[in-house]
Amino acid sequence: MKNYTIFSFIFIMWILIIIGGGLLVVFTSMISIEGYVTVGPLELYYTSIAKAVIAIILIIIWIYVLTKIKNWMFHKKIKN
């Protein structure tokens, strides 16, 4: 089976998605910004913005990692 690189890339991609999604749920659910804003509804607004920014940064990192892995795997395959 010579096409193992595409299968391993898909496997790595799914592992990153599952682990990353779990980390996002566990760690961003605990984030709470309290005491910095005196008005109650604004605390929820700022907390949601902080969670969204963290999620977007992690997605950018995952895309970067997957791109690097893809380039490494397929350049290696082309050289062979």
Work out how many domains the chain is built from and give that number: 1
Confidence at residue 63, expressed as pLDDT on a 0 to 100 scale:
86
3-state helix, strand, coil in the chain (%, to 5): 80, 0, 20
Confidence at residue 14, expressed as pLDDT on a 0 to 100 scale:
86
Ordered mean pLDDT values, 10 residues apiece, the chain (80 residues): 72 84 84 70 82 88 85 70
Confidence at residue 80, expressed as pLDDT on a 0 to 100 scale:
59
pTM of the model: 0.68
What is the rounded distance in angstroms from the CA atom of residue 48 to the CA atom of residue 55? 10
Domain containing 46 equals: 4-79
